Amino acid sequence: MAPIRLKDIAGKTEKFARGHRLCPGCGAAITVRQVMLAVGDRPVVVATATGCMEIGTSLFPHTSWRVPWIHTNFPNAASTISGVEAMYRAKRKKGEVSKKIKFIAFGGDGGTYDIGFQALSGAAERGHDFVYICLNNEGYMNTGGQRSSATPMGADTTTSPSGKVLPGKIQWRKDMVRVMAEHGIYAAQACPSKWMDLMRKVEKALEIDGPAYIDVLIPCPTGWKGDPSQSLVTVQKAVDACYWPLYEIEGYKIKLNYKPKEKIPITEWFRSQGRFQHLLKPEYKDLVAKIQAEVDRRWERLLKDAGEA
């Protein structure tokens, strides 16, 4: 597949229009724009679960979607888009539709890792032809910043507050890309700060005849308590700390897509966000060391599995 070039996408009519009401620095808006640019001229149908994307892009009578778009409830993006895809296949069989159409579902990490996992796993197991993109801001940010199973250990959230009782969330985040890859499908981890890598993965997923899953770490200035003007700088620190490695799994084979020249300590990522500020105090030194050790362990395992070690 030829690499994406800026001149190929510059000046094209964007399928995700400006004028939405999402927050300044919102990683979801940046990511969806990149995804829809990667779609190019392909006919697509998009489904989004209830959340920031639905509220910020579809306030009646306005819309940011220049493609057929469906809003569905919190856990149902995968089941809704698989139903539409099944109808499309039936109509093609009857000769009622001749165009080749692709299907994309967007869900947040709460609607993907937790309450929507059953629908997503089922759709992947049945082999529906769709691309599922998890807009992962590591919490239920649209409903008050509660923890999800994508929230990292130590993060301060409204349901795992740091203080005398808790140091923030006390569990590790779920390794969702590996979980989805075990369904035997294409699965990848991406980040909007590496836009070319993200768009290439979307293009690849769209060319696959069957389900594909892409997990994108997106900054949420409100929930992460960060500087909106530094959103992409912040999220890139997660990549350079190897907390959020960029890789893909196809046919159970792992390929590493980016190796930092210099791996930065996890504390560099913590410093850029209010949700981790308590971890920088001396009394949390042991917890930070534990988190760093787990990041290192997962990174070394990935290098080994990808044949890079």
Calculate the dihedral angle through the C-alpha atoms of 140, 46, 187, 9, rounding to the nearest 10 degrees.
-110
∠ CA(69), CA(189), CA(19), 5° rounding?
A: 35
pLDDT at 1 over 80: no
Whose CA is closest to 188, among 140, 230, 198? 198
Q: Report the interhelical angle of 27-39 vs 195-207 (nearest 10°).
A: 50
| Helices and strands (DSSP H and E) totals, the chain | 12, 8
Residue 242 three-state SS: coil
Structure confidence at residue 5 as a pLDDT band (50, 70, 90): confident
- For residue range 244-286, list pLDDT tens digits in order: 999 999 999 999 999 999 999 999 999 999 999 999 999 999 9
How confident is the model at residue 13, as a pLDDT? 87
Cβ count within 10 A of residue 297: 10
Distance in angstroms (rounded) separating the CA atoms of residues 245 and 62: 37
**Whether 288 contacts 271, CB under 8 Å:** no
Residue 268 three-state SS: helix
What are the angstrom distances between the C-alpha of 125 and each of 56, 76, 132, 211? 32, 16, 13, 9
Structure confidence at residue 12 as a pLDDT band (50, 70, 90): confident
Percent of the chain exceeding pLDDT 70 equals: 99
pTM metric for this prediction: 0.97
Distance in angstroms (rounded) separating the CA atoms of residues 73 and 222: 23
Whose CA is closest to 192, among 137, 144, 116? 137
How confident is the model at residue 113, as a pLDDT? 97
Alpha carbon 282 to its chain's center? 33
- For residue range 145-167, list pLDDT tens digits in order: 999 999 999 999 999 999 999 99
Structure confidence at residue 8 as a pLDDT band (50, 70, 90): confident
Token reading at 268: 């560099």
Structure confidence at residue 119 as a pLDDT band (50, 70, 90): very high
Whose CA is closest to 64, among 23, 27, 22? 22
How confident is the model at residue 7, as a pLDDT? 85
Distance in angstroms (rounded) separating the CA atoms of residues 237 and 241: 6
pLDDT at 2 over 90: no
- For residue range 151-207, list pLDDT tens digits in order: 999 999 999 999 999 999 999 999 999 999 999 999 999 999 999 999 999 999 999
How confident is the model at residue 228, as a pLDDT? 97
DSSP letter string over 147-186? --TTSPTT---SSS-BSSS-BS--SPPP-HHHHHHTTTSE
pLDDT at 136 over 80: yes
